[in-house]
Structure 1
Amino acid sequence: MKIQFIATVVGPLGPDVLQSLAKVSREQGAEWLSSKLIMQDGQFAAMMKVSIDDDKEAALRDNLAREFPTLGFVYAPVAAVEGPVQQIQVELDCNDRPGLTRDVNNVLANLGVSVSHFESHRVQVTSLGRTLFNASLSVALAPEMDIATLTSALEAVEPNARVHYREMAFAAHRV
């Protein structure tokens, strides 16, 4: 019987480490259904949704730990999603200020929005004499939440904030 779990991997980003992880996974009969990767200053964190025969899971974990001793591995069950959700990509642009990221996160939490990706940047615009904030988010909205409510709440975080969105379609990624 096939099982699924989330594998989180962290550590130094060496040459071909991701390709090597994928190769070992394939050799053990695993398939990455989806993956997310973050890299910063020579380090990385990756999350993979893995599918494998239940009788091969222990061997996969053992082989990964043995082949990659400098990496940390954490495994978690796949959480069941209750009811249909709408996946959207959100872009937020506004003037920057202290506490803005915290306020955006509070709005999302108070609305019960599930965030799968949040990346923000601050850009100094010398000609305007201020710093601008841009956030790119991938979120899931429950059926009772509408995009207009989310947009209004995010635009209220900062005067002159602009929110753009588009619906997303996810495809499975195979290793």
Structure 2
Amino acid sequence: MNTSLILTLIGPDRPGLVNAVSMCASQHGANWMESRMAHLAGQFAGVVRLEIDAARLEQLETALRALEREGLRIAVARGAAAAPAAARRVALELVGHDRPGIVRDISAVLARYGVSIEALDTECESASMSGESLFRARAELAVPATTDLARVRADLEALANELMVDLDFADVQGPAVIAA
């Protein structure tokens, strides 16, 4: 029986970090399923989901911890096998002048409705004309089937007006599956 293993990785960025983790996983029979990685302020940060036969799990965890000698901090968690619940897939895009609290305010509205943030990408960039700092966010959301999408949209649009940001909240084709 296969088990999901979730890794979070952080350490000073240098060539070969992904290779070290992937070699370790491969040597222990794990399959690299998905990952998100980035260079942030001189650090390498990543999240990886591996699948491995449950019988080989302990050996892989031990081998991954050995990579910490190379300066890479690794946290390991076993994935839960919860029954999935149907949800609507929604894309959210936001852009506006940067200020503290934008992610906090938007995520508070989403949490109030039980909306799961499946993926979130954010960045600050210079506005082309003024050079002021713009905040940009793109998120993939899973909205429970029982949630009134129009109410979520209305609350997000009201907040966008308050924050003075542009917000696009669009239904995506096909249902998503979220962990219950």
Distance (whole Å) between structure 2 residues aligned to residue 155 and residue 126 of structure 1: 25
Q: 2:116 aligns with which of 108, 111, 114?
A: 114
Q: Which amino acid letter does the alignment assign opposite residue 43 of structure 1?
A: Q
Contact 1:88 1:167 in 2 (8 A): yes
Q: TM-score normalized by structure 2?
A: 0.77
The residue aligned with 2:2 is 2
Deviations 1:141-161 (A, max 9, x none): 111135433332221113263
Contact 1:6 1:76 in 2 (8 A): yes
Deviations 1:109-131 (A, max 9, x none): 11211113333334554756965
1:88 shift after superposition: 3.1
- Trace 1:10-159 onto structure 2 (pairs within 5 A): 10-69=10-69, 70-79=71-80, 80-125=82-127, 127=129, 132-159=134-161
Deviates further, 30-39 or 138-147: 138-147
The residue aligned with 1:165 is 170
Over 3 Å counting, the alpha-carbon distance change for 1:28 and 1:111 in structure 2 is same
Contact 1:119 1:136 in 2 (8 A): yes
1:96 shift after superposition: 4.6
Deviates further, 155-164 or 108-117: 155-164
Gapped regions of structure 1 (runs ≥ 5): 170-175
Q: TM-score normalized by structure 1?
A: 0.79
**Bigger fraction of residues in strand:** 2
Contact 2:160 2:167 in 1 (8 A): no
Distance (whole Å) between structure 2 residues aligned to residue 122 and residue 19 of structure 1: 29
Distance (whole Å) between structure 1 residues aligned to residue 68 and residue 120 of structure 2: 28
Deviates further, 124-133 or 157-166: 124-133
